[in-house]
Amino acid sequence: MLPVLSELKGKANALIVDIDGTLLDSMTVWNQADTVFLNSRGFEVTPDYTDYVKSVRIEDAAIYTKERYDLPDTPEQIMAEWKAFVNHAYACEVPLKEGALEYLTQAKSMGFKLASATALTRDNLDAALTRLKVYELFDVVVSLEDLPKFPDKSEPDIYLHVAKLVGEDPASTVVFEDVPAALEGALKGGFITCAVWDKIGAGSEDAWNDMTRSSHYNFKSWRDAL
């Protein structure tokens, strides 16, 4: 079912939108960063590795990478190398997904409260949303980096925190996510959920089919819901 705004009105008052892979067409940037980093050390990127690191804070991803591959690099060195690769992309290149700006602009004009809950680091988050001129559309913008005690999005903590900031209950708030584990976290919190297609976020067509079955809404392009 498509989350058409005219049909959501009355069912929901707030929209919580993930950034990486949901609002921004950006997941290939991180995949490229992972590939370059691991290949330079003689390793290949595997689906299970991608599934984990795409849903956690960069600090946790760096610790996991060091431990999984028994690397001599410190987590700080790993993060610095990743950041050097992606910072330019977020500041200068990464685009919005097609139809996303129109959808959010329409939602804002209809009185929906708009918020984000993202695992993206604050520096890249601020750079991309400012460059793309969408920051002003959001009432609340929260990164996992802002909430160090919340480890990842497989639990509902960050969504509950954001909902409280915008003054809405989970039952009247739609969470838009492209990653299965994040959708599961939102569902645990009692939120209305919308699965957003991203090839890397979903991981496979089978995973996407599971996401659509477990979510209240879904779409492959923001334009579909306009």
Beta bridge partners of 71: none
pLDDT at 23: 98
Tell me the CATH number for domain 5-25+95-225. Answer: 3.40.50.1000
Question: pLDDT at position 28, please?
Answer: 87
CB 99 within 8 Å of CB 226: yes
- Name the pTM for this structure: 0.85
Count CA within 13 A, CB hemisphere, residue 39: 6
Q: Which CATH class is domain 27-92?
A: mainly alpha
pLDDT in tens, 166-205: 999 999 999 999 999 999 999 999 999 999 999 988 988 9
Q: Structure tokens of 100?
A: 């996303």
Q: Where are the domains of the chain?
A: 5-25+95-225, 27-92
- The string of pLDDT tens digits covering residues 106-122 is 999 999 999 999 988 89
Q: What is the distance between the alpha carbons of residues 58 and 171, in angstroms, rounded to a whole number?
A: 30
Tell me the average pLDDT across 17-39: 93
pLDDT tens digits, 125-153: 999 999 999 999 999 999 998 887 766 89
Give the per-residue pLDDT at 88: 87
Q: What's the pLDDT at 150?
A: 62
pLDDT of residue 72: 97
